[in-house]
Chains A and B, each alone.
Chain A
């Protein structure tokens, strides 16, 4: 790890001021991607601005139609929140199965989304539920947020402050973990809002994506059998030593069916 300056501002304004005053600053949330890459000397920020002291970023608010989770809320806090599980159990389940206990105790929803790892779990939940990503300057619909591998619609210095999830009628998340890293080789989030169904797939491609054919089929008939015969084109899927594109394409359908089956 190269030397850097460490800051721990207590509010957003101070954080933003530090960011613009620094040469090459990065915000630090849970640090579960950033710190390992710094240890491996792949990243070398001049300044790290730790957001952990900003209490307004750590919150869970619920009402009848939405669950809003502050950006600095840890996976463990989401997993253990009865308010979340009462409304979107699939989201609790997703959070409860990210990494391991140590990761869940430190990793945050805002950090995960800003990083947009192609194999992360949260992007599937955010896109699958059609959530709104709230930043310090605007609100971004999930469909506009995820742009590509480690790429989001965030502008330089823009900070995620919270994510607002609409409460679905039913939702499920099923993932096939990479046996080594336990990241998603393929993770499928299925959510039903009345007659509308959203299917988001993580792990399979450069970034999380929706599966329109699956959504249409499930909107017609919300049953696993509706997905029979549907295939995901493997042309754009990841192909590496852990899983070929063809295998990932196959798993997309299997995991989607299992998610629907869970909803009985």
Chain B
């Protein structure tokens, strides 16, 4: 008997190796005869390249080769593509400047790679990189997003530095609703630019075998098959069947390791060209400069209400920063992952959103934990909070008044999505109770006796996870499908090897997926091993991002496990001399109904591989099944976050004294892992709200290029989190799961800013709410 562990906080199988230094990350891989790469990067934000002189570098001790953008062009390699076509209001295609693997004629952001130096040691490569003499003709840099449209074009054929002018929703109905409304709340807000900061920097080691013509790239990727597809189809590095991408243990991604970057691509190319393994591991300062950044929006919004506070219309106008080039999925983030979320949890009948995406001389911007959904939630939950204050309605009550109710599902929003299920008021009520919302006034009074300003802020968020279905995504411009594959391989002794196209880079899939499959098959969790991250081992997979792994990847595994059970029943029926329709499978046993006969899962597995007594005329031997799962819809996790702060008016320091997160992630396999995801996400959200900010100066020089200046949240910046759950199972996937990876980063920032502005009695304060900004606000209010 094996009690299912589904719903149990099983300790993470992978943690033993992670916390004892036995993980195998890309930088841990060393190959015989490997050489080391160092990139020559642009020190300026915008310039034409007059000349690249590599002679001195080439003669530097230990140097094997110095390769430039011109060499890439000679080899006929393609440019780095963007995988999502977005159309402008007028139907025209987005503008996509060529994104070279290494710049040859012009550099467009500080840190852009210009040449790769390959040498016997990293030190030799780095010494030589300094000797590469690049002559620049500097151009004025377009840095400020607010002025991007009005600045001289970075690319002559892209007027107004504008990638696209996108819209969604009913413009005239929304504007009419705003015009006729009893009350309109307006905001102008900024969603600050962030740098992802995975603990493991990006790395690559590429290996080419001229005998087999196979090229293997070990790299820090969240989605190795997508990397292979892009390197093959768009860049022509190698044919797909000769290219293997391995993403071994990966130390965090947060979206930044979805994308196909210059450096990894250049290593793969150089390994093939030079015929030796080439290794590159980013230094932290390279990560700051050249990982895709996140967020960076400026938004004006207007929310129309009737006299009672019922929402009538929402108009959102956003300018989004794309950086210098379109990173792999950049175009989709401020559009289909942003505009579609603006209904939130509310029955707003008319919504119209327009987004201008602009190029600037800054690092490319792409998906970062939440990707568009934190930006949407920030706009909506800030404006709703402000509306409540303007109307003198309790913010919780204004939200409650407008919530979509359980009876309304499936609910079609005015911005394209159909929510399948939820109970938003249940999460709100539970969060209010856990946060002791009623007791706030007394706590504020008590804090005042200590000279502290206390505030409380809410955020009722929704997100759309597991981007789907493929046909809809394709119709909206996606260049890839958005299904997932999974395989359940039963070994002859009854242990199970699970292969998934999802990729774990800290999320604990090796445990969650093992629990899922073990639970389905009635075997111990330890009898299941999860394999991921290697195109040489798996069928095609789409990888991990957008909180999709359990809802999409897990569903594929669930289907594959069902197929195993179906086949197992046929084998068991034969072994027990019964009819297949009389065989039940439960808790690891195949039982013949109305008899005392049963076969264990192990016995059936053994029979499948040692088919001495087996229906070979009707059934193939072996017990391994695959499934490809393409979801019918997004999943829609939702919840309420409540933040309570105390502010020291003398210094402006904000301390979060209580943070409550109540989330509905649908069915939960491992509550501990889910809570951990919430903790991490909320920490990142608090980081955005209070601490983190990417700053470029007017010349496009990155000012926050190290931890001396870029402030990551640390344990002592954070409170204990009070995490609760409500559950409405997803209606359209076999697990009933919705996804939990991004919710914390999506829901928390507006809760924090709502609490701070509440404490200070001011309308707005831009993120990050640093002590000085808070102090200035207090001083300004006096």
CB distance from A110 to the nearest CB of B (A): 23
- List B383-399 residues whose CB lies under 8 Å from chain A: none
Decide yes or no: A251 and B651 within 8 Å by CB, A180-B707, A180-B711, A242-B709 being known contacts: yes
Q: Given A41, A179, A247, which contacts B691 in the complex, CB threshold below 8 Å? A: A179
**Is A93 part of the binding interface, using a Cβ–Cβ cutoff of 8 Å?**
no
Per-residue interface assignment for chain A, residues 22 to 66, with 1 indicating a CB less than 8 Å from any chain B CB and 0 otherwise: 000000000000000000110000000000000000000000000
Q: Which residue of A lies closest to B711 (CB)?
A: A180
Could you say which residues of chain B place their CB within 8 Å of the CB of A243?
A: 772
Task: Name B711's contact: one of A2, A179, A247, A251 (CB within 8 Å).
Answer: A179
| Per-position 1/0 for B757-782, Cβ under 8 A of A | 00000000000001110011000000
Cβ–Cβ contact A250 & B711, under 8 A = no
Residue A102 at the B interface, CB < 8 A? no
Knowing A241-B695, A243-B772, A247-B772 are in contact, say whether A181-B651 is a contact too (CB < 8 A).
Answer: no
* Residue pair A179, B708 in contact (C-beta under 8 Å): no
A58 to B710, CA, bound (A): 35
A141 at the interface (CB under 8 A from B): no
Residues of B within 8 A of A244 (CB): 772
Q: Which residues of A contact B698 (CB under 8 A)?
A: none
Contacts of B772 on A, CB cut-off 8 Å?
242-244, 247
Q: Does B650 contact A (CB under 8 A)?
A: yes
Q: Is A254 an interface residue (CB 8 A)?
A: yes
Q: How far is the CA of A2 from the CA of B128 in the complex (A)?
A: 11
How far, in whole Å, are A226 and B123 apart by their CA atoms in the complex?
A: 58
Query: Which of B130, B703, B707 contacts A181, CB < 8 Å?
Result: B707
Known: A241-B703, A243-B772. A254 touches B650 (CB 8 A): yes
- Chain A residues within 8 Å of B127, by CB: 2
Minimum CB distance partner of B772 in chain A: A247
Question: In the complex the two chains form, is B651's CB within 8 Å of A176's CB?
Answer: yes
Q: Which residues of B contact A40 (CB under 8 A)?
A: 285
| Contacts of B666-707 to chain A: CB distance below 8 A | 691, 695, 703-704, 707
For the A-B complex, the count of residue pairs with Cβ-Cβ distances under 8 Å equals 37
List residues of A (225-259) whose CB comes within 8 Å of B's CBs.
Answer: 241-244, 247, 250-251, 254
Q: Is the CB of A180 within 8 A of B709?
A: yes
Would you give the 0/1 interface string for B107-139, flagging 1 where the beta carbon is closer than 8 Å to chain A?
000000000000000010001001000000000
A180 contacts B651, C-beta separation under 8 Å: no
Complex CA–CA separation, A180 to B710 (angstroms): 6
Please tell me which one of the listed residues B123, B285, B708, B775 contacts residue A180 in the complex, with CB atoms under 8 A apart: B708
CB distance from B656 to the nearest CB of A (A): 13
Residues of A within 8 A of B703 (CB): 241
CA A250 – CA B650 in complex, angstroms? 9
Measured CA separation A181–B712 after assembly (Å): 10
Asked if A179 and B710 sit within 8 Å, CB to CB, the answer is: no
Q: Find the A residue at minimum CB distance from B126.
A: A41
Q: Which residues B464-480 have CB closer than 8 A to chain A?
A: none
> CB-CB < 8 A to B691: which residues of A?
179-180
- Residues of B near A251 (CB, < 8 A) are 651
CB neighbours (8 Å) of B771 from chain A are: 176, 179
Q: Is the CB of B707 within 8 A of A247?
A: no
Q: Give the residues in chain A near B130, CB-CB below 8 Å.
A: 41
Provide the residues of chain B in CB contact with A2, threshold 8 Å: 127
* Chain B: CB-nearest residue to A251: B651
- Smallest Cβ distance from B190 to chain A, in angstroms? 15
Cβ-closest chain B residue relative to A176: B651
Chain B min CB distance to A249 (Å): 12
* Interface hits, B168-211 → A, CB 8 Å: none
Q: How far is the CA of A1 from the CA of B771 in the complex (A)?
A: 36
Q: How far is the CA of A176 from the CA of B772 in the complex (A)?
A: 12
Quick one: given A241-B703, A244-B772, A250-B775, are A181 and B708 in contact (CB under 8 Å)?
yes
Report how far A140 CA is from B698 CA in the complex, Å.
43
Identity of the chain B residue whose Cβ is nearest the Cβ of A243 in the assembled complex: B772
B709 touching A181 by the CB < 8 A rule? Answer: yes
CA distance A40 to B288 in the complex (A): 14
**Measured CA separation A220–B123 after assembly (Å):** 60
Residues in A whose Cβ lies below 8 Å from that of B651: 176, 251, 254
**A241-B695, A254-B651 are known contacts. Are A179 and B707 too (CB-CB below 8 A)?**
no
Instruction: Give the CA-CA distance A183 to B709 in the complex, in Å.
Output: 11
Docked pose: A40 CA to B707 CA in angstroms:
14
Q: Which residues of A contact B712 (CB under 8 A)?
A: 180
Q: Smallest distance from the beta carbon of A166 to chain B beta carbons, Å?
A: 31
Complex interface: chain B residues within 8 A of A41 (CB): 130
How far is B650's CA from A244's CA once the two chains are assembled, in angstroms?
Answer: 15
- CB closest chain-B residue, reference A100: B714
Q: Within the complex, what minimum Cβ distance (angstroms) separates A215 from chain B?
A: 21
CA distance A73 to B772 in the complex (A): 35
Q: How far is the CA of A41 from the CA of B131 in the complex (A)?
A: 13
A179→B708 CA distance, assembly (Å): 9
Nearest residue in B to A255 (C-beta to C-beta)? B651
CB-CB under 8 A from B775, the residues of chain A are: 247, 250
A263 CA to B707 CA, complexed, in Å: 34
Query: Which A residues, 176 to 218, have Cβ-Cβ distances below 8 Å to chain B?
Result: 176, 179-181, 183
- Residue from B130, B285, B772 having most chain A Cβ neighbours under 10 A: B772
* B-side contacts of A247, CB under 8 Å: 772, 775-776
Q: How far is the CA of A1 from the CA of B123 in the complex (A)?
A: 8
- The distance in angstroms between the C-alpha atoms of A10 and B606, with both chains bound, is 71
Chain A proximity of B469: nearest CB distance (Å): 43
Quick one: closest A residue to B650, CB to CB?
Answer: A254
B650: A residues at CB distance < 8 A: 254
Residues of B within 8 A of A241 (CB): 695, 703-704, 709
The contact string, 1 if C-beta is below 8 Å from chain B, for chain A 164-177, is 00000000000010
A251 CB, min distance to chain B CBs, angstroms? 7
Min CB gap A41→B, angstroms: 8
Tell me which of A41, A247, A254 has the highest count of chain B C-beta atoms within 10 A of its own C-beta. A247
Task: A119 to B123: give the CA distance in the assembly, Å.
Answer: 32
Q: Which of A96-132 contact B (CB under 8 A)?
A: none
Q: What is the bound-complex CA distance between A181 and B130, given in angstroms?
A: 28
**Nearest chain A residue, comparing its CB with the CB of B775:** A247
Mask, A10-23, CB within 8 Å of B = 1, is 00000000000000
Smallest CB separation, A43 vs chain B (Å): 15
Closest chain B residue to A247, Cβ basis: B772
Chain A nearest Cβ from B710, distance in angstroms: 6
**How near does chain B come to A139, taking the closest CB pair, in angstroms?**
34
Bound complex: CA A41 to CA B283 (Å): 13
Inside 8 A of A183's CB, which chain B residues have their CB?
708
Q: A241-B695, A251-B651 are in contact. Are A179 and B770 (CB under 8 A)?
A: yes
CB closest residue in chain B, given A119: B708
A2 to B717, CA, bound (A): 37
In the complex the two chains form, what is the Cα distance from A247 to B770 in whole Å? 12
* A1 proximity list for chain B (CB < 8 A): 123
- Bound together, the chains give a CA A203 to CA B651 distance in angstroms of 15
- Point out the residues of chain B lying under 8 angstroms from A242, CB to CB: 709, 772
B691, closest chain A residue (CB)? A179
The complex places the Cα of A183 from the Cα of B703 at a distance, in Å, of 17
Q: Given the complex of chains A and B, what is the CA–CA distance between A183 and B708 in angstroms?
A: 9
- Find the A residue at minimum CB distance from B716: A182
Question: In the complex, what distance in Å separates the CA atom of A182 from the CA atom of B771?
Answer: 14
Closest to A258 in B: B650
The smallest C-beta distance from A120 to any residue of chain B, in angstroms, reads 13
Give Cα distance in the complex from A40 to B705, angstroms. Answer: 12
CA distance A250 to B652 in the complex (A): 11
Nearest B residue (CB) for A186? B651
Q: Which residues of A contact B707 (CB under 8 A)?
A: 180-181
6 CB-based A-B contacts, threshold 8 Å: A1-B123, A179-B711, A180-B691, A180-B707, A241-B709, A254-B650
Q: 8 nearest interchain CB pairs?
A: A180-B711, A181-B708, A247-B772, A179-B711, A254-B650, A243-B772, A180-B709, A241-B695
A-binding residues in B (CB < 8 A): 123, 127, 130, 285, 650-651, 691, 695, 703-704, 707-712, 717, 770-772, 775-776
Known contacts A180-B710, A181-B708, A181-B709; can you find 9 more A-B pairs with CB under 8 A? A2-B127, A176-B771, A179-B691, A179-B771, A181-B707, A241-B695, A242-B709, A243-B772, A247-B775
